[in-house]
């Protein structure tokens, strides 16, 4: 009997969909930093930036206090302003579009490819106008977008690509690292992401011009370099309207230590995804995530799509039944433009029909490196239990 109907849950303890893995080495490096003289703007920020840049193979990295601030910085560096349109996907966290609004630009939502769940390059093409300035593709779940197609469009129309790679640190596209494919690439270090700094984010780029602008933007627009005036040794100069978007040395210490474990984290995520693929392979009630050939996902999320027409339950009932089994399923994401704030800006339901249909059919299954073999077997057992009960 299902737990929601009074039966015994598949597991006694709630299993979240994602969480960090902090070990004693992480803690030791943070504590050492706390004992030192510089806890905010010390030497570890540059060290962390360099380590991330090296890991992905980019020339420059500029860290921010979170990924959203980093996206804001990237939109600033790309020169997005009032009247500019920026194309992104509706199936993402709100920040991928909000960063355009912060600069006075207009987010334009292009529908998804129903197989990969990523933005469809063909749909990007139909939304390009003379006002289009940039594209913000999102590597949803960790699977890289089809960047060759998107790059071709960007070249042909003179657009900047800001890749939202919050889900795809360590992913590969045609043998190339995410972080080397776009003009600017954002990674997030929120605790559910691949590595964490508490809050944190970064932009990697090969452009010195962008890197300079990003550094200026995260620190009030204030600089001591390339100054226009020189009034004495105390003098510094505010050249742009920036923000205080800096990360701290404490967080950078955690990031440096976490980055060393990233290959292990990626391997664990991959093996959980493989176990799910195998566990659900022969079930016609669900679709496991399709993977583009030549890409290697970093598996931030694992989306299970339900063939609702084969079931007597709604997606909401499936969600509630699995939660009752103590499986922390989730839904990523509500199409951004369906949020009341966007609706009030004039975005209407029906804008991206594929995304809206897809949103009604999916659940996010737990996936994070610390999950044990029993944990992911519990997820498989619970999904099967719920499907058996609701099978037509
Ligand atoms: C996490 C996330 C962000 C924002 O990152 P924060 O560090 O939480 O600000 C942006 N886009 C996507 C797709 C994300 O998942």
pLDDT tens track for 310-323? 999 999 999 999 99
pLDDT of the residue at 2: 97
Atom of ligand 1 nearest to the CA of 69: 9
Percent of the chain past pLDDT 90, that is, above it, reads: 99
Atom of ligand 1 nearest to the CA of 66: 7
Q: Are 301 and 363 in contact (CB under 8 A)?
A: no
* Residue bearing the CA closest to ligand 1, atom 2: 166
Distance in Å, CA 365 to ligand 1 centroid: 18
Average pLDDT, integer, range 50-66: 98
pLDDT of the residue at 303: 98
Average pLDDT, integer, range 121-145: 98
Pocket of ligand 1, candidates 88, 164, 168, 194: which has the most ligand atoms within 8 Å of its Cβ, to mutate? 164
Name the region of 301 (left: φ>0; alpha: ψ -120 to 50; beta: rest): beta
pLDDT of the residue at 51: 98
Query: Which helix H or strand E contains 250, and what residues bound it?
Result: helix 249-259
Which residues, in sequence order, are CB contacts of 346 under 8 Å at separation 6+? none
Distance in Å, CA 1 to ligand 1 centroid: 38
Distance in Å, CA 236 to ligand 1 centroid: 32
Q: DSSP letters of 147-216?
A: HHHHHHHHHHHT-EEEEE-TT-TT-EETTEETTSSSSEEEEE--TTSSS--SS-EEEEES-HHHHHHHHH
| Distance from C-alpha of 267 to C-alpha of 271, rounded to nearest angstrom | 6
Distance in Å, CA 251 to ligand 1 centroid: 17
pLDDT of the residue at 205: 98
Res. 206 pLDDT band, cuts 50 70 90: very high
* Residue bearing the CA closest to ligand 1, atom 5: 67
Taking only the tens place, the pLDDT of each residue in 238-282 is 999 999 999 999 999 999 999 999 999 999 999 999 999 999 999
Is residue 74 helix, strand or coil? Answer: helix
Taking only the tens place, the pLDDT of each residue in 338-377 is 999 999 999 999 999 999 999 999 999 999 999 999 999 9
Domains within the chain, CATH numbers bracketed: 24-260 (3.40.640.10), 262-390 (3.90.1150.10)
Instruction: Quote the DSSP letter at residue 86.
Output: E
Distance in Å, CA 225 to ligand 1 centroid: 31
pLDDT of the residue at 273: 98
Q: Which of 310, 260, 275, 245 is nearest to 63 (CA)?
A: 245
Task: Return the number of other C-beta atoms located less than 10 Å from residue 34's C-beta.
Answer: 11
Average pLDDT, integer, range 171-196: 98
Is residue 69 helix, strand or coil? Answer: helix
Query: Which helix H or strand E contains 320, and what residues bound it?
Result: helix 315-324
Average pLDDT, integer, range 41-63: 97
pLDDT of the residue at 27: 98
Task: Return the number of other C-beta atoms located less than 10 Å from residue 82's C-beta.
Answer: 8
Taking only the tens place, the pLDDT of each residue in 272-308 is 999 999 999 999 999 999 999 999 999 999 999 999 9
| Distance from C-alpha of 137 to C-alpha of 92, rounded to nearest angstrom | 10
pLDDT of the residue at 115: 96
The answer to whether the Cα torsion of 90, 94, 99, 103 is positive or negative is positive
Res. 144 pLDDT band, cuts 50 70 90: very high
| Distance from C-alpha of 113 to C-alpha of 295, rounded to nearest angstrom | 16
Looking at 56-65, 225-234, 313-322, which range is the least confident one? Answer: 225-234
Average pLDDT, integer, range 4-18: 98
Instruction: Quote the DSSP letter at residue 246.
Output: -
Q: Tokens standing for 319?
A: 């969600």
pLDDT of the residue at 283: 96
Q: Are strands 295-296 and 172-173 parallel, antiparallel or unpaired?
A: antiparallel
Atom of ligand 1 nearest to the CA of 67: 7
Distance in Å, CA 94 to ligand 1 centroid: 8
Q: Tokens standing for 235?
A: 């003098």
Distance in Å, CA 328 to ligand 1 centroid: 20
Average pLDDT, integer, range 147-165: 98
Atom of ligand 1 nearest to the CA of 70: 9
Average pLDDT, integer, range 40-56: 97
Q: Which residues line ligand 1 (CB under 6 A)?
A: 66-68, 92-93, 95-96, 138, 164, 166-167, 188, 190, 201
pLDDT of the residue at 40: 92
């Amino acid at each position: 009997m299902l737990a929601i109907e009074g039966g015994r849950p598949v597991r006694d303890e709630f299993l979240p969909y994602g969480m960090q893995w902090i070990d004693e080495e992480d803690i030791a490096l943070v504590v050492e930093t706390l004992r030192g003289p510089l806890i905010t703007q010390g030497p570890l920020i540059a060290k962390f930036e360099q380590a991330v840049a090296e890991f992905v193979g980019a020339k420059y990295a500029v860290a921010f206090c979170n990924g959203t601030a980093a996206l804001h910085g990237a939109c600033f560096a790309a020169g997005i302003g009032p009247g500019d349109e920026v194309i992104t996907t509706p199936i993402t966290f709100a920040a991928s579009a909000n960063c355009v609004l912060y600069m006075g630009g207009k987010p334009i939502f292009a529908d998804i490819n129903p197989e990969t769940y990523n933005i469809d390059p063909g749909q990007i093409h139909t939304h390009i106008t003379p006002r289009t300035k940039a594209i913000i593709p999102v590597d949803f779940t960790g699977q890289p977008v089809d960047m060759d197609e998107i790059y071709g469009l960007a070249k042909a129309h003179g657009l900047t690509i800001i890749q939202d790679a919050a889900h795809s640190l360590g992913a590969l596209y045609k043998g190339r690292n995410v972080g080397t494919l776009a003009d600017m690439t954002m990674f997030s270090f929120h605790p559910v992401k691949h590595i964490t700094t508490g809050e944190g984010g970064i932009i990697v780029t090969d452009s010195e011009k962008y890197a300079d602008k990003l550094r200026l933007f995260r620190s009030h627009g204030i600089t001591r370099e390339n100054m226009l005036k020189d009034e004495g040794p105390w003098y510094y100069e505010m050249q742009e309207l920036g923000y205080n978007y800096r990360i701290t040395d404490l967080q950078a210490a955690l990031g440096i230590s976490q980055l060393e474990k990233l290959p292990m984290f990626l391997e664990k995520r991959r093996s959980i995804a493989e176990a799910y693929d195998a566990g659900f392979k022969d079930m016609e009630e669900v679709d496991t995530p399709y993977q583009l050939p030549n890409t290697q996902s970093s598996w931030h999320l694992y989306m299970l799509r339900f063939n609702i027409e084969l079931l007597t339950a709604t997606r909401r009932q499936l969600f509630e039944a699995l939660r009752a089994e103590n499986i922390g399923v989730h839904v990523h994401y509500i199409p951004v433009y369906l949020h009341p704030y966007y609706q009030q800006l004039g975005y209407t339901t029906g804008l991206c029909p594929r995304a809206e249909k897809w949103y009604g059919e999916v659940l996010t299954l737990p996936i994070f490196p610390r999950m044990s073999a029993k944990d992911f077997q519990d997820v498989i057992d619970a999904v099967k239990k719920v499907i058996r009960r609701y099978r037509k």
